[in-house]
Structure 1
Amino acid sequence: MSKINGNEIRPGNTLEHDGGLWVAVKVDHVKPGKGGAFAQVEMKNLRNGSKLNERFRSADKVERVRLEQKDQQFLYENDGMLVFMDTETFDQVELPADLLGDRRPFLQDGMTVVIEYYDTEALNVTVPQKVVCKIVETEPVVKGQTAANSFKPALLDNGVRVMVPPFVGQDEDIVVNTETMEYAERA
């Protein structure tokens, strides 16, 4: 672990603060008319998901934590626990399904995900940014509806609803961006 100054905190940095592990979500550098500059940091606890707003002056020292990232393959789900296998050592690890949050429906059998570890504790699971899904239900194509910004709702095979362009039909495979939960392109 390395100590960094308060003004060196960037979004995405993992910090050890008040005995917990926090990820910086948003950082605003503020220079008031009177007094010294500071960084207003919005942080999210990696263990319980709580949020915290904290001010760090440039003279403040903060512990920056480096998380170990490992590629792991999703095997199956068992009683709300997801089972992953390390692709190098073939060790299996069970993690709670709520660790994925609203990205859980995009997890598919055999998919390789990135799990971030602090020592031996798994803190975060990242699914690939783009995932191929099949449309199970959508409105039929309407002839002449070619307006640039017209989208229609579609239900995917994993139960997620997304907005798709009018030319995409039922039973087609599409690529979905898992970060924005939006249609990206046809598969």
Structure 2
Amino acid sequence: MKLNGNEIRPGNVIQHQDSLWKAVKVDAVKPGKGPAYAQVELKNLIDGRKLNERFRSSETVERVRLEQKDFSYLYAEGEQHVFMDTETYDQVSIPADLLGDQAAFLQDGMNVTVESFEGRPIGVSLPEQVVLEIAETEPTVKGQTASSSYKPAVLENGLRVMVPPHISGNVKIVVNTETLEYVKRAD
């Protein structure tokens, strides 16, 4: 499916420079002189490289449709993560470098969507929110709870997030997997 350069949206997967790229960030730019264009930050789905590219509205790019299928996360084996198809029980291994930061959120039995192109897995879509336990955080300072300041916390998977001052260690919280931000305290 052809797309004009100004129709590219974040999340679109396009074929560009003989490779697959995912649009991460798109800014519409209208300079005072010359035609408008879309400044697109692209991430290569094969090797993880990043690229900033300008697309004019007169240019066309090929949008790629990825096959999406539900899988369940099983375990990590060295530099590979193993997933099981929830319908056929077939297993597929995906390299850790292809998952990037998402690998830290994987939990046993987690349901994910594996995206593939021409039968080759190239990415994973995680649930929007996951529940994780705080491993360590700074102690609450008396009187600090009234302000809207946040303090750093380290989660059980090693990631750092900012949490409200009333949250202490060994508490389970809900974290947004896309923005890596605290959402709320888990029940």
Query: Structure 1 length as normaliser, TM-score?
Result: 0.87
Q: Provide, for residues 61-119 of structure 1, a one-character-per-residue CA deviation record: whole Å limited to 9, x for no partner.
A: 22111111222110011121100001112110011112221232211111111221111
Q: Which structure's CA Rg is the greater one?
A: 1
Aligned to 1:23: 22
Bigger shift: residues 106-115 or 24-33: 24-33
Note if contact 1:100-1:126 (Cα within 8 Å) is conserved in structure 2: no
Note if contact 2:45-2:98 (Cα within 8 Å) is conserved in structure 1: no
Aligned to 2:87: 88
Any unmatched runs of 5+ in structure 1? none
Aligned to 1:79: 78
Report SS of the residue matched to 1:128: coil
Residue 154 of structure 1 aligns with an amino acid whose one-letter code is: A
Any unmatched runs of 5+ in structure 2? none
Aligned to 2:64: 65
Report SS of the residue matched to 2:146: coil
The 1:43/1:111 distance shift into structure 2, 3 A limit, reads same
Bigger shift: residues 140-149 or 65-74: 140-149
The 1:7/1:168 distance shift into structure 2, 3 A limit, reads closer
Report SS of the residue matched to 2:97: helix
The 1:9/1:148 distance shift into structure 2, 3 A limit, reads same
Residue 20 of structure 1 aligns with an amino acid whose one-letter code is: S
Matches of residues 105-144 of structure 1 in structure 2 within 5 Å?
Answer: 105-144=104-143
Bigger shift: residues 165-174 or 132-141: 132-141
Aligned to 1:97: 96
Distance, in Å, in 2 between the alignment partners of 1:157 and 1:41 is 34
Distance, in Å, in 1 between the alignment partners of 2:161 and 2:39 is 34
Report SS of the residue matched to 2:101: helix
Distance, in Å, in 1 between the alignment partners of 2:156 and 2:23 is 34
Distance, in Å, in 1 between the alignment partners of 2:151 and 2:71 is 35
The 1:112/1:163 distance shift into structure 2, 3 A limit, reads same
Distance, in Å, in 1 between the alignment partners of 2:165 and 2:36 is 50
Shift of 1:36: 4.0
Note if contact 2:73-2:82 (Cα within 8 Å) is conserved in structure 1: yes
Query: Structure 2 length as normaliser, TM-score?
Result: 0.87
The 1:121/1:167 distance shift into structure 2, 3 A limit, reads same
The 1:89/1:59 distance shift into structure 2, 3 A limit, reads same
Distance, in Å, in 1 between the alignment partners of 2:54 and 2:135 is 48
Q: Provide, for residues 151-186 of structure 1, a one-character-per-residue CA deviation record: whole Å limited to 9, x for no partner.
A: 233222222232222212222111111222222111
Distance, in Å, in 2 between the alignment partners of 1:33 and 1:140 is 52
Number of residue equivalences: 186
Q: Provide, for residues 18-72 of structure 1, a one-character-per-residue CA deviation record: whole Å limited to 9, x for no partner.
A: 2111112233334455554433333221111222333333332221111112221
Bigger shift: residues 133-142 or 106-115: 133-142
Report SS of the residue matched to 1:7: helix
Aligned to 2:159: 160
